[in-house]
Amino acid sequence: MSVKRSSIEMFRLKKVLEALASKEGRGTELISLYIPPGRQISEIIAMLKDEWGTASNIKSTTTRKNVQDAIVRVIQRLKLFKEVPENGLVIFCGAIPQGGPGSEKMETYVIVPPEPINIYLYRCDSRFHIEHLKELVKEKETYGVILVDSSEATFATIKGRRLEIADEITSGIPGKHRAGGQSARRFERIREAQVQEFFKRVASHANEIFLPIEDLKGIIIGGPGPTKYDFEKGGYLDYRLREKVIGVVDTAYTGEQGVK
């Protein structure tokens, strides 16, 4: 998922949650259902049918009808899905008063979260339980990651649980020369110059990627060998990014595998 698409979905979810937060029911008539990925739709529908039967014991005729009607609405919405989406599924449904007694209107909200949810919840209450989704839209600090060795570099951002690979570049620098003599020393001088030019490219990419991020909390530099230390100590990054470097770490790889 692109950063732009993810940001738009987060914005839309935030607006829906703001609307849901203001809604209240009479008694415990509002249903909140959280289904994590991996659950079977048929399993959830069976549970809801049991809850419909249990609701027949509610003494208040109005409350009983509203709860059972809401359960039926939720089941109808679930039947539109062949399986639970990869990020899970959240449904809010209930009778919302529009004025005095008898003015209730049944409202249903189906949300596919922009990030995976790991909670399974069914609850009837006088409000919708939106707190678990609110955690997703909380502003989270952003960290930058630069993984570098002599052959390639990877740039990534981490925000909460979201990992985005921003760019990957290669150096084209040949491996170290194994022969001896003057030719080997000349080769190493040329290679060292190529490494320095690559470091400048890495810094240029890092500056373009990370400087525009206003909430950048810190930068981690990593990689599988000693090259990362040479890059960090060489002062190649813009001074504003150098001030944000919080650590240099060993990773087994560059690329997305190294970031994870």
What 3-state DSSP class applies to 223?
Answer: strand
- Alpha carbons 145 and 164: distance in angstroms, whole number: 10
* pLDDT for position 14: 86
Q: DSSP of 21-54, one letter per residue?
A: HT-B-SSS-EEEEEE-TT--HHHHHHHHHHHHHH
Domains of the chain: 3-137 (3.30.960.10), 142-259 (3.30.420.60)
Distances (CA, A) of 85 to 1, 123, 159: 15, 21, 22
DSSP state of 173: P
Distances (CA, A) of 233 to 9, 18, 72, 96, 194: 40, 47, 64, 62, 17
Closest C-alpha among 230, 249, 232, 250 to residue 241? 232
Residue-by-residue pLDDT tens, the chain, 260 positions: 444 445 677 778 888 999 999 999 888 999 999 999 999 999 999 999 999 999 999 999 989 999 999 999 999 999 999 999 999 999 999 999 987 777 889 999 999 998 889 899 999 999 999 999 988 877 677 899 999 988 899 999 988 767 889 999 988 887 665 555 557 777 788 888 898 999 999 999 999 999 999 889 899 999 888 899 999 999 999 999 999 999 888 887 676 666 66
* pLDDT for position 1: 45
- Alpha carbons 87 and 90: distance in angstroms, whole number: 10
* pLDDT for position 12: 83
* pLDDT for position 258: 61
DSSP state of 99: S
Q: Is the dihedral of CA 235, 240, 241, 245 positive or negative?
A: positive
Half-sphere exposure of 54 (CA within 13 A, CB side): 8
Residue with the two structure tokens 């809604």? 23
Return the H-helix or E-strand segment holding 188.
helix 181-210
* pLDDT for position 257: 63
